[in-house]
Amino acid sequence: MHDDVRVLAEALIARPSVTPDDAGCQDILAARLRPLGFDCEFMDAGPAESRVRNLWALRPGAVGPAGPVLVFAGHTDVVPTGPLARWQSDPFVPVERDGRLHGRGAADMKSSLAAMVVAVERFLAAHPAPRAGIAFMLTSDEEGPARDGTVRVCEALQARGQRLDWCIVGEPTSTAVLGDVIKNGRRGSLSGRLCVRGVQGHVAYPHLARNPIHLVAPALAELVSTQWDGGNAHFPATTWQVSNMQAGTGATNVIPGVAELDFNFRFSTESTPQSLKQRMHALLDRHGLDYSIDWTLGGEPFLTAPGALSDALQRAILAETGVTAALSTTGGTSDGRFISRICPQVVEFGPVNASIHQVDEWVDAHSLEPLAGVYRRTLEALVA
């Protein structure tokens, strides 16, 4: 068994690339891609104090620059480690225990990046002049605000008229075993901060005050119980969740004057940001609240219907692992929402996601080679 994927994955895990710091990961990958004929272009963006590293690497196919292109996309940044004392080993020193390779980013998503690069190396060794082009789109701003990463690269590529036909995002999509789930879309994300205003006062004289917590409670109960839509064949129903709630001065004898709630819609294609905003405002107005909302649209939903890319990937997974992959749109957002604006077929596929963002994050060490095999077989189906 080859160790190429394992060695490269460990080299990436060893880099403390906490978002938005790339910590040299993309330089490692570019150094592997240039000898294969890739033109590596760094498109760094953002303010100096939080500069984002972006890499666009392209190897045109035999039919020329205007020909079809398959893109491997992903991120080199990782989430913070949390308390180091809770880790069994240094999160940036890759260690294998009981068949699992541990380290921050092991599953999300440095193993995928390593498998993608090795898959391309092996594919080009067997097919040195493929018909279609191959590209890599990498960022260090996926786990952060996602303002200066993939979205900026996509804007630049669109401006220059770059053709993209298929894209595989290396997010960890598998649930129980490698290959059981492919994400062929994602729900949209719409967040907001609701500020409800009352009148501050003494708890012993409530008739002289207006408690915003009490005022918002009936509306909150209705928001929680509302069915926003029923979903459809591709997406589950839209959900509304409170993530944070703040009120009070810290004193036990003061009625607060303001209550603030952070909330989020994860929405299907049956709803739009505008329709959700309108319905929420109407509900709050009906309750007679004095309020304001600051809205943030994290991303629109996107869907890639079953087609050439998902079919090729499903066949590759079955041949490499014996697993029949299901198509799914569940879970959080990804950079696929930006890529789908300029690429007609976008799917996500990677290792088991059971430990992502957790202490002692891990990836099954025995899944690294099959993962590279799946990516290589997909290249053979679409690019050769």
Catalytic residues: 77, 142
| Rg of the chain over all Cα atoms, to the nearest angstrom | 23
Nearest CA among 174, 155, 225 for reference residue 356: 174
Alpha-carbon torsion angle 42, 300, 17, 10, nearest 10: -90
Whole-number Å distance between alpha carbons of 10 and 13? 5
Whole-number Å distance between alpha carbons of 63 and 129? 10
Cis ω on the peptide bond leading into residue 218 (within 30° of 0)?
A: no
- Length in residues, the chain: 384
Cα–Cα–Cα angle for 25, 26, 32, nearest 5°? 100
Whole-number Å distance between alpha carbons of 135 and 59? 6
Identify the helix (H) or strand (E) that includes residue 218.
helix 212-225
Whole-number Å distance between alpha carbons of 208 and 92? 57
Whole-number Å distance between alpha carbons of 150 and 43? 10
Chain-centre distance for alpha carbon 162: 23
DSSP secondary-structure letter at 193?
A: E
